[in-house]
Amino acid sequence: MNGAGFWPTNLSRMNSSKNRSTNILFLLVLFFVVAAPFSGCGSNSEGVSDTGSFEKISDTDLILEIEDVESIGWKRGKEYNVEGLTGAKTAFLGFWSPPGLTSVNYEIRIYPSHQTAVEMGTPFAEESTGEDAVLDADDAMWPEGVRDRRVVVGGGSRGSQNPLYFDYVILNNLVILCEGRTSEHAMERCLPFVTLLRGEGA
């Protein structure tokens, strides 16, 4: 067999193989482009909508009272003494059931204005939530209700104290502590709650 008969045949095979690889690569890219918009929306396994573009701090220019919170189905459990909670008018512990879930705790702190909630409420909210939440009344800026903001994980003498609230939302003049195992989990549970408070439906 001479060289003239060998090279065209192999070149043809090589080109055919290249075309197949190119086609497969194109199909894979097309699949991911089409699938990507659907991967970050909808609901998680607990039936709570993903947070998407959910704003942690927002203001609709309305002053809300505890009656407004109760009007969406939140149940008042306890009222706290706000002495030491700088700038706050009142504070409450209560619960509400997000779609598809049993009752979840939400602590509501009410301030006279959105600006006061942001400026004076944020440091206290930061201290009460997340992995670094202060769970000892002796160390807290506002010791009232600290015991309600912790949960024992593991049970028995070996159980460890973990934060009940892993994040918070400031809506208008309210600071809302949201129960969850992580910040993302807490915000997922706050999304439908805040949506109702904003009058936008669940």
pLDDT tens figures, 119-129:
999 999 999 99
Q: Judging by DSSP bridges, how do beta strands 174-179 and 165-171 pair with one another?
A: antiparallel
Length of the chain: 202
Whether residue 169 is predicted with pLDDT greater than 80 in this model: the reply is yes
Does residue 139 surpass a pLDDT of 70? Answer: yes
In whole angstroms, what is the distance from residue 88 CA to residue 82 CA? 7
Residue 21 amino acid letter: S
Q: What is the pLDDT of residues 66-91, one digit of tens each?
A: 999 999 999 999 999 999 999 999 99
Structure tokens at 183: 């910040």
User: 3-state DSSP call for residue 73?
Assistant: coil
Give pTM, 2 decimals: 0.73
